[in-house]
């Protein structure tokens, strides 16, 4: 993964970003917040340290929603097309990148299913990837 660069953006092209390796982790999150936020059975995200992430264009088009009362959950999206975008953690230490917003396949694969206990019965099987009912050790 050393020296890898990921680029991506929103559906309408107004927002573009870039992230460089090393990438912290890639996970499938099955919590109800991620399901509602994406409209799918789980969200797949890549975490990268904040210093390895940059907006290339369109940062002014980003809208942000922080769920009241939630310690970590938030959603950043393009104000033009509604596409999910990377979001900085509230403490600013890392950025969560929606894997579906990438231009190409990342050089990392999902290593964990998180909030597995709240997955929907019609969701995907684990595929042999470790499952966790909360965040895995060393998260954040």
For the chain, percent of residues with pLDDT exceeding 90: 69
Q: Please check whether residue 135 lies inside any domain of the structure.
A: no
Residue 131 belongs to a domain: no
**Confidence at residue 91, expressed as pLDDT on a 0 to 100 scale:** 83
Rounded mean pLDDT of the chain? 90
- CA–CA dist 130, 128 (Å, integer): 6
Task: Report pLDDT for 90.
Answer: 79
**Average pLDDT of the segment spanning 12-40:** 92
Q: Is residue 89 part of a domain?
A: yes
By residue range, what is the domain housing residue 90?
5-118
Q: Residue 140: inside a domain, yes or no?
A: no
Q: Is the pLDDT at 140 greater than 60, yes or no?
A: no
Q: Report yes or no on 132 lying in a domain.
A: no
CATH of the domain at 56: 2.170.150.70
The total domain count for the chain is 1
52 in a structural domain: yes
> Which of 24-28, 70-74, 113-117, 131-135 shows the lowest per-residue confidence on average (mean pLDDT)?
70-74
- End-to-end CA, the chain: 20
């Amino acid at each position: 993964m050393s020296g890898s660069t990921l680029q991506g953006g929103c559906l309408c092209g107004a927002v573009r970003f870039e992230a460089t390796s090393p990438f912290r982790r890639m996970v499938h999150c099955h919590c109800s917040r991620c399901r509602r936020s994406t409209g799918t059975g789980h969200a797949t995200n890549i975490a990268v340290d904040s210093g390895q992430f940059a907006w290339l264009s369109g940062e002014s088009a980003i809208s942000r929603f922080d769920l009241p009362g939630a310690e970590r959950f938030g959603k950043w999206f393009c104000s033009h097309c509604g596409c999910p975008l990377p979001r900085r953690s509230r403490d600013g230490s890392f950025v969560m990148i929606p894997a579906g917003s990438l231009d190409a396949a990342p050089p990392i694969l999902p290593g964990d299913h998180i909030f597995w206990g709240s997955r929907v019965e019609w969701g995907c099987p684990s595929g042999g990837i470790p499952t966790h009912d909360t965040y895995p050790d060393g998260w954040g």
